[in-house]
C-alpha cells in the first residue's frame, strides 16, 4: 500500500496502481486533482485500466476484454469498448452488462466472457452512442461526467495530466464506487 505522496499526480497514480490502494487513498488523490472539462476529453478513444481498491469488480473488466471508452463528442459517447480474443474492437451496449454478474464473477470467469465475445458480439455490440458527457459539480469540483443512457450509473473524471484521467463510477445500490484510469 502507498502511504507517502509521490512527486506528481501521475507518479502518485502509478504508485497506487502498482501497489494497490484503499478507497480512502483513491479518494484522496481524486479530490486533489483538477477538473477535466468535457471539451478537453472529447478526443476519441481512451484506453482503460483498473485501479484496484478491493472493489468487487477488481480484475473482471480487464479479464473480460475491456479496452476503455470512446468520447467522439459530448453526445457521441461509447462507455464500454471491448476487444475479443481475435483482436476485434467494438462497443458494447451497457444494457447487456449486468452489474451483479461483474460483482460476483471471478477473473477466470471474466476471461471466459472474453472468449465468448467472439460469438456473442453481434448480439451485444452497438454502433450507436449509449451515453453523453456533461460538466457536473461532484465533490466540490465542476468536471466532466459520463451519463449512461440506460443504466443507473455516472462516471466522474478528474485530470491526472494531459494524457490521463482518474475516473470513479458511482452505481446505484452499490456500497462502494469503482475507480479506473483512462489514458490516451
For 95-138, the pLDDT digits (tens) are 876 554 555 555 555 556 656 666 666 667 788 999 999 999 99
* CB-based contact 50:182 (threshold 8 Å): no
Question: Hey, what's the cell of 21?
Answer: 490502494
Instruction: Give residue 6's pLDDT band: very low, low, confident or very high (50, 70, 90).
Output: very low
The residue-averaged pLDDT of 168-181 equals 93
Question: What integer pLDDT is reported at residue 61 of this predicted model?
Answer: 81
DSSP string, 67-90: EEEEESSSS-EEEEEEE-TT--EE
Task: Give the SS3 label for residue 19.
Answer: helix
In tens, the pLDDT along 84-105 reads 888 889 898 888 765 545 555 5
Domains of the chain: 35-183 (2.40.128.580)
Question: Hey, what's the cell of 35?
Answer: 477538473
114/160: higher pLDDT: 160
The count of C-alpha atoms lying within 13 angstroms of the C-alpha of 13, restricted to the half-sphere facing its C-beta, is 24
In tens, the pLDDT along 58-67 reads 888 888 788 9
- Distance, CA of 21 to CA of 18 (rounded, Å): 9
Amino acid at each position: 500500500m502507498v502511504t507517502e505522496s509521490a512527486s506528481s499526480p501521475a507518479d502518485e497514480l502509478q504508485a497506487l496502481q502498482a501497489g494497490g490502494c484503499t478507497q480512502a487513498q483513491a479518494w484522496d488523490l481524486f479530490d486533489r486533482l483538477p477538473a477535466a472539462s468535457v471539451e478537453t476529453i472529447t478526443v476519441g478513444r481512451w484506453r482503460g485500466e483498473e485501479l484496484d481498491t478491493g472493489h468487487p469488480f477488481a480484475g473482471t473488466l480487464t479479464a473480460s476484454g475491456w479496452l476503455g471508452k470512446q468520447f467522439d463528442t459530448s453526445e457521441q459517447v461509447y462507455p464500454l469498448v471491448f476487444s475479443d480474443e481475435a483482436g476485434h474492437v467494438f462497443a458494447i451496449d451497457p444494457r447487456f452488462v449486468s452489474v451483479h454478474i461483474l460483482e460476483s464473477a471471478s477473473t477466470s470467469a471474466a476471461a471466459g466472457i472474453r472468449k465468448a465475445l467472439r460469438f456473442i458480439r453481434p448480439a451485444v455490440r452497438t454502433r450507436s452512442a449509449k451515453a453523453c458527457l456533461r460538466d457536473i459539480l461532484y465533490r466540490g469540483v465542476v468536471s466532466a461526467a459520463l451519463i449512461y443512457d440506460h443504466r443507473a450509473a455516472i462516471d466522474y473524471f478528474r485530470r491526472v495530466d494531459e494524457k490521463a484521467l482518474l475516473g470513479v463510477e458511482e452505481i446505484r445500490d452499490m456500497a462502494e464506487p469503482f475507480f479506473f484510469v483512462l489514458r490516451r
